[in-house]
Structure 1
Amino acid sequence: MPAESTIRPTEVVADARPVLDVEAGTLALPVWPETDPESGESGEAGGPGGQNGPGGPAGPAGPRVGTGADEVASALGLDLPLILDRENAKGEPGEIVSVPVYAAGRGAASVDGEVDVTRVLLVGVGDGTAASFRRAGAAVARAAKGVERLGSTVTAGADDARVRAFVEGAVLATYALGGFRGSEAPARTLPLGTLVLAGDEDRSTVVRLASAVAEATWTARDLVHTPSNVKDPAWLAERARQLGSAHGLDVRVRDEKALEAEGFGGILAVGMGSARPPRLIAMRYEPEGAGATTPHVVLVGKGITYDTGGLSLKPREAMVPMKTDMSGGAVVMGVLSAVRELGVDVRVTGLVAAAENMPGASAQRPSDVIRQYDGTTVEVLNTDAEGRLVLADAIGYAVAELEPSVVVDVATLTGAATQGLGRTHAAMYATGDDLAAALTRAGDASGERMWRLPLVDDYRSALESSVADVAHIETTKVGGGSITAALFLQRFVRDVAWAHLDIAGVGRADADRAEVVKGGTAFGVRALLYWLEEGVSVAPGGAGRPR
């Protein structure tokens, strides 16, 4: 079986030349919504700052084609307004009108006349927000599967946020895992080879940043989608070492002997029922010039490489997607793979608590009492609530040994989060308002939205145990299963600023939608990288008052 995927993401490059000179046989032009017959303006006045929209042909009250429209229409003999009218196009975000080009396209795609234009994609950009550009990029990429090179003017004149959104959408929408089929995938199903952003000033820097974020998400998706007969804790640790070598990170892996010697009772308990022992993976990034005052962010990811539920066995249907139960760990590894490329100026340590939750002869039992890393004893009442046990060890270790400024954990933790928020928002808990606001901003900007939920003091009593310091699930029914899980984790954070992202709903998708693909989404990579890029500042007493 392969160690990594054989399918590569789309390469994105910037080229200031006109779109007809970039040697691309497929072109993409932006379409803005219907023109207001009174004002003569389209949608949001042609988009933010007027980019793209005001130029280009339009009917008396129809959608307007943006930058490159006149040149392409003239060179290829296309009546673009008529085409849009016949297709009943509206310029909605992600709407695609595909126009085949025949004899008129011969030699039209390069100065030397050697490259033919065979197709023009007219791409709706809606209200021109970053979210609409992200949908547009995703739509272009899906429409251009199997294409070697595509020239686009969709982002010409757009600001950096919209360019980044378009590029990230285009790269991520055609994610696929390769290497597990008996024959190669047909060329028509592969991602677009190269996307050229044409006819604009030099955008190489923003393209590089966007590509780094998208490729980090791609890396995390590869980890999530890999089947669990290949992916066990040792395999995940080896992938971490490879990423560390490629991206200049220090990597340390604790095996089961080291975990036992150092008292990681939660990780060991969860992994007891498997013949494939657990690991604690640590990946460390130090920016140039880091010193004693440089903030230190610790990211903690749940790395359950397969979850049967243990002796509290899941039904078959619930077990099928459980190769994705290490999504939190994959997110952390994806983030660490990109921080150096993005020039993040804080120290970042990623901890992945990796175990396989199996119902073997030596598996932990409901009613067992275990001792976590920080000495807390925990009554285990449901072995299918294993994620919080491995996270508690990693968080306790981070707080005791790593002197973090802030800890953020990421986990596919509770079905209650999915029931409460569905599949569009992660449940976010935080001990400080500033931290919550910063993560919310990053989520909105990156397209990975979060909704803050409360840490309800009144619910803490539901975790009381008659035999241990605490129970890891409710002993008194109060509802709010995602909240009580967060409350359990909070006790291990002590006074360190902390946020918890429950991605159980958003971490998996049932169908392709915009830049999200069916299966594991690697939700959180983009949001956390945007947050780290913004800069992390935790005021004294940053843990704040629990909500």
Structure 2
Amino acid sequence: MARRSNTFTFPTLPAVSWQPGLPVHGAPTWVIVVGEGGLPAAAKEAGERLGVDLDRLYEVQQATGFSPTAGATASYPLLTGEVTEVLLVGAGDGSAKDLRHAGAAIARFGRGKDELTAVVAEGIDDATLQAVAEGVVLGSFSYTQKTVDTGKPVVGRVTLTDGSASERQTVLDRGIVLGRTGWVARQFAITPSNEKDPSWMAARSTELAASSGLEVTVWDEKQLAADGFGGILAVGKGSTRPPRFIRLDYVPAGATKKTPYVVLVGKGITYDTGGLSLKPREGMVSMKRDMTGGGSVMATMSALRELGANVRVTGLICSAENMPSGTAYRPDDVIRHYGGRTTEVKNTDAEGRLVMADGLAYAVKELKPDAIVDIATLTGAIKVSLGSMLYGGLFATDDALADNLADAGRVSGEELWRMPLAEQYQELISTPIADSVNSSKGPGSITAALFLKAFAGDIPWAHLDLSSIAESPADRFEYSVGATGAGARLLTTWLTSETPTSGIG
């Protein structure tokens, strides 16, 4: 019997490479990336190489309905020569966001092909070129357990050029790794829960640590009980598959006591039935992705050494399966969390905040970082507030931390909208029985954030409620239908920026 490697096997991604100058021959398919300003500067020379008047081709395609909106495509077959087709891809306004969409369109068109040559605008800036590479990786994503009609494989290679003699491979390499974090987080989230449980999360974390230069520590159910992780234990009580608490540590080369230190806390609910407060059938569909926060923390941690992050980072994944049974926790139970704070349970379907409370309390008491960011698909209420696939919710006690995360969201394409932490709503989660309740009838995303805030102490803290961007309803731009792996590219972009903790505290 084959034995599984103890290192994580990263997915097979398309190669994305840079070509100084136009290639003499190139791939059988050439892609011309067209912005609102028209064809790229190198299009004239490219057309001469291909024996095609690209200006005329563009005019004809426009006349038949093509416009250079981000991700739009129009293909044209060539009947002679080594190159067999030309693809026009819209780049919209030329922003990084629109070029990410264009990269994803190139990847989708390239499925089953060995290689594409893509001509982009001359002098494209680093952020925008990086976004093209991210889009190629993200648009290539697939996951299937089908045994027939498994679909075409990802494109083998996409060679980018602007016709100049510049060398830009380093920029593309960063985009590939950032795109890979989104792919890995998406792969974790879409894995079905008959395979994925807390032990599975721990095993994948251990493999990632071995592959990525991280230290890993895993608490099993016995150690969780010994150390007082009451929230994680309570939520996991109803399942035959016990909970886990996972710690991943990254320390950059040359780190000192003055090196900034950040802790990430991820919700790792591998399936959420709602427990005894049972969800309706429709509400359970897609709950295999309720560990998106934890999976995004794992994916982020895997990229830090490769991208040279200059901050210390600990990732904490709070993992349990929320099931109804004779051993499940109940409404009106009182839970004692790590560090002693108590919660009266009013809804067992508000379980994510219970496991994350333990993670936050552990971070405050044992790690004492400069900042804590938790990430979760926490509430349906955030989708009521922000809609679907536009913004994730951001709550924060520190303005600089909120600004730094929001900036990273804009750069990565996983945008955030800051929500209020209104203290007036604190009374909605009060109870004479315990320090707080875990659910209320009030504004759901805000009261959930207020519940978690109490566990973050005085440390600058941000809470990302990403339920609103965790599930794509269709194949569109860089997303495929289903789980999006929300948050991995956002966190990686933030932590690998030059000064991620600037102004905090």
Same fold (TM over 0.5): yes
Which of 71, 76, 90 lines up with 1:94 in the alignment?
71
Give the equivalent residue in structure 2 for 1:284.
249
Contact 2:346 2:439 in 1 (8 A): yes
Q: Secondary structure at the match of 1:435?
A: helix
Q: Secondary structure at the match of 2:34?
A: strand
Shift of 1:77: 2.9
Alpha-carbon spacing, 1:5–1:205, altered in 2? closer, same or farther (3 Å): closer
Alpha-carbon spacing, 1:139–1:150, altered in 2? closer, same or farther (3 Å): same
Give the equivalent residue in structure 1 for 2:35.
32
Give the equivalent residue in structure 1 for 2:461.
498
Shift of 1:5: 8.2
Which of 433, 438, 443 lines up with 1:480 in the alignment?
443
Shift of 1:538: 5.6
Letter in 2 for 1:168: E
Give the equivalent residue in structure 1 for 2:50.
76
- 1:15 paired with 2:22, answer no
Give the number of the structure whose alpha-carbon radius of gyration is greater.
1
CA distance in 2, matches of 1:184, 1:242: 30
Which of 104, 124, 128 lines up with 1:162 in the alignment?
128
Give the equivalent residue in structure 2 for 1:378.
343
Give the equivalent residue in structure 1 for 2:323.
358
Q: Secondary structure at the match of 2:69?
A: coil
Q: Secondary structure at the match of 1:210?
A: helix
Give the equivalent residue in structure 2 for 1:536.
500
Deviations 1:387-433 (A, max 9, x none): 00000000000110012110000000000001110121000001111
- 1:208 paired with 2:173, answer yes
When the two chains are superposed, the root-mean-square deviation of aligned CA atoms in Å is 1.8
Letter in 2 for 1:196: T
- 1:323 paired with 2:277, answer no
- 1:522 paired with 2:496, answer no
Give the equivalent residue in structure 1 for 2:470.
507
Which of 123, 126, 129 lines up with 2:95 in the alignment?
129
Contact 1:155 1:166 in 2 (8 A): no
Shift of 1:72: 2.9
Q: Map 1:13-412 to 2 at 5 A.
A: 13-21=17-25, 23-33=26-36, 42=37, 64-88=38-62, 89-103=66-80, 105=81, 116-154=82-120, 156-178=122-144, 180-183=145-148, 185-186=150-151, 189-198=152-161, 199-200=163-164, 201-412=166-377
TM-score for both structures, normalised by structure 2: 0.94
Deviations 1:193-222 (A, max 9, x none): 111112341111111111111112111111
CA distance in 1, matches of 2:14, 2:23: 18
Q: Secondary structure at the match of 1:87?
A: helix
TM-score for both structures, normalised by structure 1: 0.87
Alpha-carbon spacing, 1:239–1:6, altered in 2? closer, same or farther (3 Å): closer
Instruction: Compare 464-473 and 193-202 and name the one that shifted more.
Output: 193-202
What is the count of residue pairs matched by the alignment? 494
CA distance in 1, matches of 2:39, 2:490: 32
CA distance in 1, matches of 2:203, 2:143: 19
CA distance in 1, matches of 2:412, 2:231: 33
Shift of 1:466: 2.4
CA distance in 1, matches of 2:13, 2:190: 15
Deviations 1:350-374 (A, max 9, x none): 0000000000210001111110112
Instruction: Compare 262-271 and 124-133 and name the one that shifted more.
Output: 124-133
Letter in 2 for 1:11: A
Q: Secondary structure at the match of 1:505?
A: helix
Alpha-carbon spacing, 1:420–1:263, altered in 2? closer, same or farther (3 Å): same
CA distance in 1, matches of 2:294, 2:176: 21
Shift of 1:442: 0.7
Contact 2:42 2:121 in 1 (8 A): no
Shift of 1:25: 1.5
Alpha-carbon spacing, 1:288–1:155, altered in 2? closer, same or farther (3 Å): farther
Contact 1:448 1:524 in 2 (8 A): yes
